[in-house]
C-alpha cells in the first residue's frame, strides 16, 4: 500500500484494527484496486478491476454508470463515480449458496470480515436496480440470508467471519473478554448493526415485493432483534452483554467491568459502541435510538404483512412507542451556545454529550435515515452545531472542512461525512461545495477513503473502504434524480 496508509498517529497500538489498516504491506485482495503503470499514465483511466477480476458483474449497474456518467460535465467527478459506485460488487462480494439458498458474504474492503452495518450500507445503493437485474436481486437475497444467520449466531456481534464455522475471530479480537462464538469476528454491541439489516431487508421488499428471503430463519432473527433491544433497555439490570479488551485505547473497551458507564433506564436502548466501533461515553446514543425507531416501524410492517406474526408486530410497535416517548423527553438538551439541540449521547441522569461523529447513524444523518425532515427546525439547529466549531470533531483546513471522530483523531475529516452533508441539504450551493471537496481530496487514487487530513489529503486512512465508495455513488445517483443541473456544472 502507499505511504498514505502508514502515517503515524497517537492512536496506534500493538495488534489492533487501526494498526492493521495502516500496515505498509499490500494484501493480495487489494491488488485489483491498484492501477497498472499504463493506466496511471492516462488521465481518468478506470481504476476498476478488469472484467475478469470483478467479483460480480451487474448489467444494470454498469448501464447506470454509463448513462449517468454522460450527464456529469466534470470529467474527474464522472471518473470518481464510475470507480466508486461498483466498488462493492467489483471487489468485496462472495456469492454462494447455503442449504440451497443464496448466501452472500460482503467484506468491508481491506478487512476480510463482514460487518452487519457495512455490508448493509455497501449494497444499499444497488437496490433500485433489482427490478431489471435478477442476478443482482439474488445476490442481495444472499446478503439478507447471511445476515439472518449471523444474528442468530450472536445478536450482539458487529462483525462475522466469512466462514461462520471459524473458531478464529479477527486478530485483534482473540483476547477479548466477552462471550465469543464460532464465526464471530468482533463482538462490539452497536444498536445500529441490527438496524441496518432491517433497513436493507425492508427496502429489498419494497423494491421487489419479493418475500422469498423472509423464511423461518429470517423470522427468528427478527424476534432475536426484538429480544436484544428489550434486553438493552436494561430496565431490570445490566443484561447479558459485556465486553473488555486489553488496549492502550480507552475507546476499544467498555468501563464498568465491561458493561459500560451507568445509565438510567428511561426506555432508550443502551449501546456499548458507536457505529465507529468506538465505545460510547454515555450509553444512550441518540442517533442510534432514532434509527431504532425507524427500524421497529419497518419490523412491525414486515412482521404483519410477511410473517403474519401479530404478537411480534405488536411488540415492535410497543417498543417503538417507548423509545419515541423517551427521545421526545430526553434527547433535546440546552447547549450553552447552540441553544436547544439534540445531544449525541446521554445517560438519563441529566448528563449530555454534545458532539457528532462521521459514522452513520449520526446527528447529521437523521434525515437520510428517515428520522426527520431536512427542514425540521430542531434538526437545522443541531446541524448548524455539528457543522461548526463547537462540535469538537468538526475540522476546517486548507483542503476541506467536515466531521471526523475519535476513531482516527484530530484533524482527520471523513469523506462519508461530506457525502452525508450533501445528502441532507436542499441547498445546491452547499451540495456543489461538498462535491468539490470530494473531488479534490481523493489524493489521485480515484476512490473515497476512511479519512484524510484537513490540510493534506495525501495523508489518509484506508485506501480500500467500500462503504464510502458506494455511498458516494449513491449521492451521485440521488443528485441525478433530484438535481441533475448540479451534475451538468462543467467545473466543480
- CATH number for 312: 1.50.10.10
pLDDT at 48 over 90: yes
Separation between Cα atoms, residue 220 and residue 228, nearest integer Å: 12
- Which of 442, 464, 443, 466 lies closest to 33, judged by CA? 464
pLDDT of residue 18: 57
The 10s digit of each residue's pLDDT in 361-415 is 999 999 999 999 999 999 999 999 999 999 999 999 999 999 999 999 999 999 9
On whether residue 492 sits in a domain, the answer given is no
Classify residue 122 as exposed, middle or buried by CB count within 10 Å of its CB (0-12, 13-18, 19+).
buried
Residue with cell 421488499: 205
pLDDT of residue 43: 82
Q: How many domains does the chain have?
A: 1
Separation between Cα atoms, residue 120 and residue 324, nearest integer Å: 24
DSSP E strands, 101-253: 101-106, 114-115, 159-160, 184-186
Element housing 103 (H / E): strand 101-106
If you compute the radius of gyration of the chain from its CA atoms, what whole number of angstroms results?
A: 21
Q: SS3 for 412?
A: strand
The 10s digit of each residue's pLDDT in 228-284 is 999 999 999 999 999 999 999 999 999 999 999 999 999 999 999 999 999 999 999
pLDDT at 358 over 80: yes
Q: Over pLDDT 70: what percentage of the chain?
A: 91
pLDDT of residue 31: 33
The mean pLDDT of the chain is 93
Mean per-residue pLDDT, 333-354: 98
β partners of residue 159: 115, 186
pLDDT of residue 16: 56
pLDDT at 2 over 70: no
pLDDT at 146 over 60: yes
Mean per-residue pLDDT, 59-68: 98
pLDDT of residue 7: 35
pLDDT of residue 19: 55
β partners of residue 353: 345
Separation between Cα atoms, residue 291 and residue 217, nearest integer Å: 23
Mean per-residue pLDDT, 415-428: 97
Q: SS3 for 413?
A: strand
* Residue-number span of the structural domain to which 334 is assigned: 3-487
Indicate if the alpha-carbon torsion angle 413, 418, 424, 430 is positive or negative.
positive
The 10s digit of each residue's pLDDT in 462-483 is 999 999 999 999 999 999 999 9
Q: What is the pTM of this model?
A: 0.93
pLDDT of residue 35: 38
The 10s digit of each residue's pLDDT in 10-44 is 333 334 555 554 443 333 333 334 333 334 447 89
> What residues contact residue 308 under an 8 Å CB cut-off, 6+ apart?
none
* Largest separation between any pair of C-alpha atoms in the chain: 64
Distances (CA, A) of 206 to 163, 167, 190, 228: 30, 37, 26, 25
Amino acid at each position: 500500500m502507499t505511504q498514505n496508509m502508514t502515517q503515524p498517529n497517537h492512536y496506534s497500538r500493538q495488534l489492533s484494527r487501526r494498526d492493521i489498516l495502516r500496515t505498509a504491506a499490500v494484501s493480495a485482495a487489494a491488488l485489483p484496486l491498484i492501477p497498472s503503470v499504463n493506466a496511471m499514465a492516462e488521465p481518468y483511466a478506470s481504476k476498476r478491476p478488469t472484467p475478469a477480476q470483478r467479483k460480480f458483474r451487474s448489467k444494470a449497474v454498469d448501464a447506470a454508470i454509463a448513462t449517468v456518467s454522460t450527464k456529469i460535465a466534470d470529467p474527474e467527478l464522472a471518473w470518481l463515480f464510475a470507480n466508486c459506485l461498483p466498488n462493492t460488487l467489483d471487489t468485496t462480494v462472495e456469492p454462494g449458496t447455503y442449504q440451497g439458498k443464496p448466501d452472500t458474504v460482503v467484506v468491508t474492503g481491506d478487512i476480510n470480515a463482514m460487518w452487519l452495518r457495512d455490508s448493509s450500507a455497501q449494497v444499499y445503493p444497488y437496490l433500485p436496480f433489482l427490478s431489471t437485474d435478477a442476478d443482482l436481486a439474488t445476490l442481495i437475497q444472499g446478503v439478507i440470508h447471511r445476515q439472518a444467520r449471523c444474528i442468530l449466531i450472536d445478536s450482539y456481534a458487529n462483525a462475522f467471519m466469512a466462514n461462520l464455522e471459524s473458531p478464529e475471530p479477527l486478530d485483534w479480537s482473540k483476547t477479548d473478554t466477552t462471550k465469543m462464538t464460532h464465526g464471530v469476528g468482533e463482538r462490539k454491541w452497536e444498536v445500529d448493526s441490527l438496524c441496518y439489516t432491517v433497513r436493507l431487508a425492508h427496502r429489498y421488499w419494497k423494491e421487489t415485493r419479493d418475500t422469498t428471503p423472509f423464511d423461518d430463519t429470517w423470522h427468528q432473527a427478527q424476534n432475536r432483534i426484538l429480544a436484544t433491544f428489550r434486553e438493552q433497555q436494561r430496565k431490570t439490570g445490566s443484561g447479558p452483554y459485556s465486553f473488555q479488551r486489553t488496549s492502550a485505547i480507552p475507546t476499544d473497551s467498555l468501563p464498568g467491568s465491561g458493561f459500560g458507564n451507568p445509565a438510567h433506564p428511561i426506555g432508550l436502548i443502551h449501546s456499548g459502541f458507536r457505529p465507529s466501533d468506538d465505545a460510547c461515553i454515555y450509553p444512550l446514543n441518540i442517533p442510534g435510538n432514532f434509527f431504532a425507531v425507524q427500524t421497529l416501524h419497518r419490523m412491525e410492517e414486515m412482521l404483519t404483512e410477511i410473517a403474519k406474526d401479530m404478537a411480534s408486530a405488536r411488540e415492535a410497535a410497543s417498543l417503538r412507542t417507548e423509545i419515541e416517548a423517551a427521545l421526545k423527553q430526553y434527547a433535546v438538551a440546552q447547549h450553552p451556545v447552540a441553544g436547544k439541540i439534540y445531544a449525541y449521547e446521554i445517560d438519563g441522569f441529566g448528563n449530555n454529550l454534545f458532539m457528532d461523529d462521521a459514522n452513520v447513524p449520526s446527528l447529521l444523518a437523521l434525515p437520510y435515515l428517515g428520522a426527520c425532515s431536512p427542514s425540521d427546525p430542531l434538526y437545522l439547529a443541531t446541524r448548524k452545531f455539528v457543522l461548526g466549531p463547537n462540535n469538537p470533531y468538526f475540522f476546517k483546513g486548507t483542503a476541506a472542512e467536515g466531521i471526523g471522530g475519535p476513531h482516527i483523531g484530530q484533524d482527520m475529516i471523513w469523506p462519508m461525512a461530506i457525502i452525508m452533508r450533501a445528502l441532507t441539504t436542499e441547498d445546491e450551493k452547499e451540495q456543489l461545495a461538498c462535491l468539490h471537496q470530494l473531488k479534490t481530496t481523493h489524493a489521485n487514487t480515484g476512490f473515497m477513503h476512511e479519512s484524510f487530513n484537513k490540510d493534506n489529503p495525501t495523508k489518509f486512512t484506508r485506501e480500500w473502504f467500500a462503504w464510502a465508495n458506494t455511498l458516494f455513488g449513491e449521492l451521485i445517483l440521488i443528485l441525478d434524480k433530484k438535481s441533475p443541473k448540479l451534475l451538468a456544472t462543467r467545473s466543480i
